[in-house]
């Protein structure tokens, strides 16, 4: 017989239990052996046993438990078969049995939703989101000092290498306040504009958000964008001024910016330093008192939002779930409402911060489920999970499908890796739903995929993850944005590949995407930014001074002028102090043309681009010049041309490799030398006719490099 009971008023002090009363045990005449497991101590976790009889249900304050350590070495190994999570210095449940207890997972009871808080941390890039998340985990005892490392939630290699967050991560924290244990579900979000879809997904699973602001830099472009995104979904926002330990801070000015720019009440704004752990307890207090508890009851049919997922080679699809209504338990048969897939729940658990199993998730809780599903296409982010035998009548709203605006081609260097690349892209898409791909072919590169991204940084991250994590050897073509073409018969085409542009004779109108760009820069750089935007066909919309030393400038710019190198140019001209945020507002007609590149008279489709006619000559000259540097010499002369239709607008020539065929002639008649030179000339002519030009991988990114040189 094995049962589970809750303990009341359990406090660990010097590895002793005090005031422990077993409730509703149902004693019989058999002795009872009790197992108590805890983590979060400075020493290695232990499991302790003590036998009691019905005559002695009270555990004495002086009772010591005999230590029974496992053979494992460390918390991660040990906690696989003991309690997944118990608060530091607090035990919340025990397990007892009439026989020596087997090593088994701890049974987690559903917590009352009024003691649950779900929140995100949102901020501009590099304002300290991950550092604050680290401190919340450390202060709550979720991790020990020995386990602590910077950016503990950033578990991707690329995140730790670049020092940025690219994937939202959830973690469950237990915090005791006024004698009550609260369950806090934290979602750490990215800060770069290219990952705004990750932020929006996180906000949909929360009731509140901590808005983190640098004590020196103040309100930045992404601070504004993320704050308004949280306001749009009616979240409770708690302003937090971080880095108050800096030698130079502007706390009062920053709080004034919060009120004037964001329209938030900064009276109760928190002042913390995540780096040194200053005032972190006030953050817990604000989360519990100011962020509302989730709504929902356990007696209604299950409604769970799939807010993320990933693929494990051994366990299949791991589905990240936020429960809004009802409960889901291990062994339940669940249905994904959008896809119609039905599976049994094989495992259920929470992130603490590693995956820890439990028996059920109730309303307001965040965790994961394993169903053994191996088909990647059967789980979509934004889907609703419900019970098969007691289904919900309506699905949750889910997420708006992201619109990819930057596209490029990815081709395997080895043609036999095409199917392997498809499989890896499917796995990556499951973990990053804002990324898309479709098969395509290229005369120069063979079979590959046309991939869509939210921005240039997003594209770089996906490429590096494929190359480093999956060890794929890729050729990546130059990126371009999405265009619209109105044909003479009224049909509207969506173009994300220059190869798909129809003949100029049937095009009535060529449209390009326009973005509203907000810059926040030091006042002395206003003129420089305005000149930069004017050179890129920008339309000025307004300027607002946020204080005596900072201004917000708003422009409307073609997206193609932003995605390549605008962020780099902005940081360069403002000495690193300028920030920007943009949103797509629509399409507008423009004088656009398709520029083809011909190598030895043959059009290379992977090098074609769409450019504005006024910039075509300059871009064409820059591109062919760059290609001349990248393509090595051959035994014959190579002509590199940029053309619009049949009109060549730029040309560079790579001379042939020269060999001195007359070196062996030490004298004699001049006709002997002429004969050798004529033979060489005829050979090079034949080679030029039949020879193939080998274009290196780097040359396909020359389109991007030439754009940066403009």
Predicted confidence (pLDDT) at residue 112 exceeds the cutoff of 80: yes
Q: Of 177 and 657, which is predicted with more confidence? A: 177
The model's confidence at residue 272, banded by pLDDT at 50, 70 and 90, is very high
pLDDT the model gives residue 153: 64
Chain centroid offset of residue 597 CA: 35
What is the topology classification, in CATH, of domain 113-290? Rossmann fold (3.40.50)
Asked whether the beta carbons of 597 and 641 are under 8 A apart, the reply is yes
| Cα separations in angstroms, 118 against 88, 267, 279, 446, 680 | 21, 23, 21, 48, 77
Q: Find residue 644's DSSP bridge partners.
A: 647
Tens digits of residue pLDDT in 125-167: 888 888 888 888 888 888 777 776 665 665 566 666 666 777 7
Question: φ and ψ at 226, to 5 degrees?
Answer: -70, -35
Q: Find residue 52's DSSP bridge partners.
A: 32
The residue-averaged pLDDT of 222-245 equals 89
Residue in 625, 539, 653 with CA at minimum distance from that of residue 586: 539
The model's confidence at residue 53, banded by pLDDT at 50, 70 and 90, is very low
Domains 113-290 and 594-709 share a fold: no
Residue in 172, 196, 197, 175 with CA at minimum distance from that of residue 186: 172
Q: Kind of pairing, strands 609-612 and 592-599?
A: antiparallel
**HEC profile for 573-635?**
HCCCCCEEEEEEEEEEECCEEEEEEEECCEECHHHCEEEEHHHHHHHHHHHHHHHHHHCCCCC
Which residue blocks in 171-278 are alpha helix, DSSP H? 196-204, 221-232, 251-257
Residue in 226, 291, 292, 237 with CA at minimum distance from that of residue 266: 237
Q: How many whole angstroms separate alpha carbon 609 and alpha carbon 603?
A: 12
Asked whether the beta carbons of 350 and 365 are under 8 A apart, the reply is yes
In the chain, what are the domain boundaries? 2-97, 113-290, 303-387, 406-478, 484-590, 594-709
Q: How many whole angstroms separate alpha carbon 213 and alpha carbon 292?
A: 22
pLDDT the model gives residue 662: 67
Tens digits of residue pLDDT in 589-611: 999 988 888 888 888 887 888 88
The residue-averaged pLDDT of 663-679 equals 74
Q: Hey, what are 99's tokens?
A: 């026989």
pLDDT the model gives residue 539: 92
pLDDT the model gives residue 557: 92
| Cα separations in angstroms, 70 against 86, 92, 167, 412, 532 | 17, 21, 35, 48, 64
Predicted confidence (pLDDT) at residue 70 exceeds the cutoff of 70: no
DSSP-derived 3-state class of residue 558: strand
Q: Is the overall model pTM greater than 0.85, yes or no?
A: no
Q: How many whole angstroms separate alpha carbon 119 and alpha carbon 286?
A: 11
Packing angle of the helix pair 280-290, 129-140 (nearest 10 deg) = 90
Tens digits of residue pLDDT in 421-474: 888 888 888 777 788 888 888 777 788 898 888 877 888 888 888 888 777 888
Pick the CATH number of 406-478 from 2.40.30.10, 1.10.10.10, 3.30.360.10, 3.30.70.870: 3.30.70.870
pLDDT the model gives residue 239: 93
Neighbours of 80 (CB within 10 A): 16
Asked whether the beta carbons of 196 and 229 are under 8 A apart, the reply is yes
Tens digits of residue pLDDT in 28-52: 333 433 444 433 333 333 334 333 3
The model's confidence at residue 667, banded by pLDDT at 50, 70 and 90, is low
Q: Find residue 16's DSSP bridge partners.
A: 13
pLDDT the model gives residue 146: 74
Q: Kind of pairing, strands 436-442 and 446-453?
A: antiparallel
The model's confidence at residue 270, banded by pLDDT at 50, 70 and 90, is very high
How would you class 231 by CB atoms within 10 Å of its CB: exposed for 0-12, middle for 13-18, buried for 19 or more? middle
Residue percentage of the chain with pLDDT more than 70: 77
Q: Find residue 551's DSSP bridge partners.
A: 521, 545
Q: How many whole angstroms separate alpha carbon 455 and alpha carbon 57?
A: 64
pLDDT the model gives residue 56: 42
What is the topology classification, in CATH, of domain 484-590? Alpha-Beta Plaits (3.30.70)
Asked whether the beta carbons of 523 and 545 are under 8 A apart, the reply is yes
Residue in 313, 350, 346 with CA at minimum distance from that of residue 79: 350
Predicted confidence (pLDDT) at residue 351 exceeds the cutoff of 60: yes
Residue range 303-387, CATH number = 2.40.30.10
The residue-averaged pLDDT of 371-387 equals 83
pLDDT the model gives residue 57: 41
3-state DSSP helix/strand/coil % of the chain, to nearest 5: 25, 35, 40
Does the bond joining 22 to the residue before it have cis omega, within 30 degrees of 0? no
Q: Hey, what are 438's tokens?
A: 């479709």
How would you class 447 by CB atoms within 10 Å of its CB: exposed for 0-12, middle for 13-18, buried for 19 or more? middle
pLDDT the model gives residue 514: 92
DSSP-derived 3-state class of residue 431: helix
Predicted confidence (pLDDT) at residue 677 exceeds the cutoff of 60: yes
Asked whether the beta carbons of 349 and 367 are under 8 A apart, the reply is yes
Predicted confidence (pLDDT) at residue 61 exceeds the cutoff of 50: no
- Residues with Cβ within 8 Å of 630's Cβ and at least 6 positions away in sequence, in order, are 696, 698, 699, 702
Q: Of 197 and 262, which is predicted with more confidence? A: 262
Predicted confidence (pLDDT) at residue 393 exceeds the cutoff of 60: yes
Q: How many whole angstroms separate alpha carbon 65 and alpha carbon 297?
A: 39
Q: Find residue 44's DSSP bridge partners.
A: none
Asked whether the beta carbons of 31 and 53 are under 8 A apart, the reply is yes
Asked whether the beta carbons of 243 and 249 are under 8 A apart, the reply is yes
As assigned by CATH, the class of the 594-709 domain is: alpha beta
How would you class 554 by CB atoms within 10 Å of its CB: exposed for 0-12, middle for 13-18, buried for 19 or more? middle
Q: How many whole angstroms separate alpha carbon 705 and alpha carbon 9?
A: 66
Residue in 413, 564, 559, 565 with CA at minimum distance from that of residue 476: 413
pLDDT the model gives residue 709: 54
pLDDT the model gives residue 41: 34
Which residue blocks in 469-578 are alpha helix, DSSP H? 526-535, 560-563, 566-573
- Residues with Cβ within 8 Å of 696's Cβ and at least 6 positions away in sequence, in order, are 630, 631, 632
pLDDT the model gives residue 571: 81
Q: Of 11 and 674, which is predicted with more confidence? A: 674
Q: Find residue 218's DSSP bridge partners.
A: 214
pLDDT the model gives residue 407: 85
| Cα separations in angstroms, 567 against 54, 256, 416, 550, 609 | 72, 27, 37, 18, 21
Q: How many whole angstroms separate alpha carbon 445 and alpha carbon 623?
A: 19
Q: Of 17 and 168, which is predicted with more confidence? A: 168
């Amino acid at each position: 017989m094995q049962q589970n009971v809750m303990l009341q008023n359990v406090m660990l002090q010097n590895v002793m239990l005090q005031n422990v009363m077993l409730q509703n045990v149902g004693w019989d005449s058999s002795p009872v052996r009790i197992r108590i497991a805890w983590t979060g101590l400075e020493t290695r976790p232990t499991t302790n046993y003590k036998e009691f009889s019905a005559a002695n249900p009270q555990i004495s304050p002086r009772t010591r438990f005999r230590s029974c350590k496992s053979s494992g070495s460390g918390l991660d190994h040990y906690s696989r078969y003991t309690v997944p999570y118990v608060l530091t210095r607090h035990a919340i449940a025990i397990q007892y049995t009439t026989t020596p207890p087997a090593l088994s997972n701890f049974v987690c009871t559903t917590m009352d939703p009024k003691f649950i808080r779900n929140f995100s941390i949102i901020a501009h890039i590099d304002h300290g989101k991950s550092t604050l998340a680290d401190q919340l985990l450390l202060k709550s005892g979720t991790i020990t000092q020995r386990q602590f490392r910077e950016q503990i939630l950033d578990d991707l290699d690329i995140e730790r290498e670049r020092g940025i967050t690219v994937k939202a991560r959830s973690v469950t924290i237990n915090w005791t306040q006024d004698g009550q244990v609260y369950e806090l579900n934290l979602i750490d979000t990215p800060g770069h504009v290219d990952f705004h879809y990750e932020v929006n997904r996180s906000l949909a699973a929360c009731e509140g958000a901590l808005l983190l602001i640098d004590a020196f830099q103040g309100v930045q472009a992404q601070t504004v964008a993320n704050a308004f995104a949280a306001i749009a979904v009616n979240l409770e926002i708690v302003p937090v001024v971080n880095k108050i330990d800096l030698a130079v801070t502007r706390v009062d000015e920053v709080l004034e910016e919060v009120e004037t720019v964001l329209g938030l009440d900064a009276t109760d704004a928190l002042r913390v330093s995540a780096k040194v752990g200053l005032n972190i307890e006030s953050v817990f207090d604000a989360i519990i008192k100011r962020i509302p508890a989730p709504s929902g009851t356990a007696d209604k049919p299950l409604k769970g939002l799939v807010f993320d997922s990933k693929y494990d080679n051994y366990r299949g699809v791991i589905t990240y779930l936020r429960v809004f209504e009802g409960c889901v338990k291990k062994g339940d048969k669940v249905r994904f409402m959008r896809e119609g897939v039905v599976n049994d729940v094989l495992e259920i658990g929470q992130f603490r911060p590693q995956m820890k199993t439990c028996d059920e998730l109730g309303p307001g809780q965040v965790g994961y489920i394993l169903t053994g599903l191996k088909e990647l296409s059967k789980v979509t982010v934004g889907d609703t999970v419900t019970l098969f035998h007691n289904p919900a009548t309506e699905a949750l709203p889910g997420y708006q499908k992201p619109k990819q605006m930057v596209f490029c081609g990815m081709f395997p260097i080895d043609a036999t890796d095409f199917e392997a690349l498809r499989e890896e892209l499917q796995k990556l898409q499951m973990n990053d739903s804002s990324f898309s791909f479709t098969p395509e072919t290229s005369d120069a590169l063979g079979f590959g995929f046309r991939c869509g991204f939210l921005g240039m940084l997003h594209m770089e991250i996906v490429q590096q993850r494929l190359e480093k994590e999956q060890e794929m050897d890729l050729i990546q073509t130059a990126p371009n944005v999405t265009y619209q073409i109105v044909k003479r018969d009224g049909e509207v085409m969506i173009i994300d590949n220059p190869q798909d542009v129809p003949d100029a004779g049937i095009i009535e109108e060529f449209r390009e995407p326009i973005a509203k760009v907000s810059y926040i820069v030091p006042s002395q750089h206003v003129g420089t930014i305005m000149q930069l935007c004017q050179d890129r066909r920008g339309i000025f919309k307004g300027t607002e001074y946020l204080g005596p030393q900072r201004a917000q400038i708003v422009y409307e710019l073609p997206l193609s002028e932003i995605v390549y190198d605008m962020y780099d140019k902005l940081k360069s001209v403002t000495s690193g102090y300028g920030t920007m945020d943009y949103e797509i507002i629509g399409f507008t007609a423009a004088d656009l043309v398709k520029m083809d590149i011909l190598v030895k008279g043959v059009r290379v489709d992977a090098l074609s681009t769409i450019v504005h006619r006024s910039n075509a000559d300059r871009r064409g000259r820059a591109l062919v010049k760059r290609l001349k540097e990248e393509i090595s010499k051959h035994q014959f002369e190579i002509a590199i041309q940029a053309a619009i239709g049949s009109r060549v607008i730029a040309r560079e020539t790579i001379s042939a490799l020269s060999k001195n065929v007359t070196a062996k002639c030490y004298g004699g008649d001049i006709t002997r030398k002429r004969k050798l030179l004529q033979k060489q000339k005829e050979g090079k002519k034949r080679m030029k006719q039949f020879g193939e030009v080998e274009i290196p991988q780097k040359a396909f990114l020359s389109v991007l490099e030439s754009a940066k040189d403009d």
